[in-house]
Amino acid sequence: MMGQFENLLFEKDNGIGMITINRPKALNALNGATLSELDALCDQLAKDNSVKVVIVTGSGEKAFIAGADITEMQPMSAVEGRNWGKFGQAVFNKLENLPQPVIAAVNGFALGGGCELAMACDIRIASEKAKFGQPEVTLGITPGFGGTQRLPRLVGKGRAKELLYTGDMIDAAEAYRIGLVNKVVPPEELLTVAKGMAAKILSRAAVAVQLCKAAVNEGMDMDLDSGVAYEAEVFGLCFATADQKEGMTAFTEKRKANFTGK
Ligand code: HXC
């Protein structure tokens, strides 16, 4: 499927789509070209039923993504900065709202836009070597790809504000402690653990998994009554799937379900 990208690698294996941000010389910093490629790849993935789970990682030993590309932002005017922020926000919203679950396998520095990209993923698995932070205030800017919004939603207002105001970097253990990442694993196990989690999700009823994602994503922006009403609708929809019939029949027959994703 996928066209060739200059700054991304993409491979598909047994329903898992693996995106590798690939600008190791700049610690995988997101320049305009890389974001445009990610945007195009998200459009392709949204239409690709053969990819059931997506993993995002960074190439090289050192970095997941060391932020937006500072050399590109350095000369920007106020209007250009605003447009750049809006573009990145749109790409990350697209990633967040892909029908497939997205796992960030954070292999190293996840700073600024890199931390923001990880937060736009559904689940974050960190290598013990990963480091997180929103160092924007050390550069004279605020986060601009959703960090001021997703960070407090993930870790709470107080912890988010400390990270945002100080620009401090935290290690993977601290990121785990404050709920920024789901688990921390030795570097050499990172991709195996991410693929293992992806394989487990893949073994479940795909429509139900996608509807869980939609219910959480849509519901988090609603009041509770509207959120549970939305849940009732997606719950009902499951009964129109073959996998619901299979899942419940398998249970009553005391065997393992054989899901088809239909
Ligand atoms: C452009 C970057 C970069 C970045 C690293 N590089 N981060 N280039 N943009 N964000 C480049 C370096 O310039 C250097 O290039 C090469 O990658 C290796 O980095 P070093 O600094 O030499 O490595 P090291 O000393 O190990 O330090 C690693 C580091 C540091 C701590 C991660 O690179 C760093 O602080 N980077 C910036 C992190 C940051 O501030 N990110 C937030 C950006 S703002 P050369 O050519 O010299 O080898 C942001 C805003 C998002 O993300 C929202 C926008 C709207």
Q: pLDDT tens digits for 19-58?
A: 999 999 999 999 999 999 999 999 999 999 999 999 999 9
**And the tokens for 55?**
């993993």
Q: Which tokens in the block code for residue 201?
A: 């999700």
What would the pLDDT profile of 140-169 be if each residue is shown by its tens digit? 999 999 999 999 999 999 999 999 999 999
CB 7 within 8 A of CB 37: yes
Does residue 133 have its Cβ closer than 6 Å to ligand 1?
no
Is the CB of 64 inside a 6 Å radius of any atom of ligand 1?
Answer: no
Look at ligand 1, atom 7, and give the residue with the nearest C-alpha: 66
CATH number of this structure's domain 8-202: 3.90.226.10
Fold of 206-252: Lyase 2-enoyl-coa Hydratase; Chain  A, domain 2 (1.10.12)
Q: With the C-alpha atoms ordered 207, 209, 211, 213, is the resulting torsion angle positive or negative?
A: negative
Has 136 been annotated as catalytic? yes
For residue range 174-190, what is the model confidence (pLDDT) as tens digits? 999 999 999 999 999 99
Ligand 1: which of 38, 64, 70, 86 to mutate, most ligand atoms within 8 Å of CB?
70
Domain boundaries in the chain? Answer: 8-202, 206-252
User: Global pTM?
Assistant: 0.97
Give the distance (Å) from ligand 1 centre to CA of residue 135.
Answer: 10
Catalytic position from the list 136, 174, 233, 246: 136
Q: Which two tokens stand for residue 196?
A: 């293992």
* Side-by-side strand order, sheet with 183-185: 8-13, 16-21, 53-58, 102-106, 123-127, 183-185
- The pLDDT assigned to 3 comes to 57
Q: Which of 21, 23, 27 gets mutated to test ligand 1 (max ligand atoms within 8 A of its CB)?
A: 27
Same topology for domains 8-202 and 206-252, yes or no? no
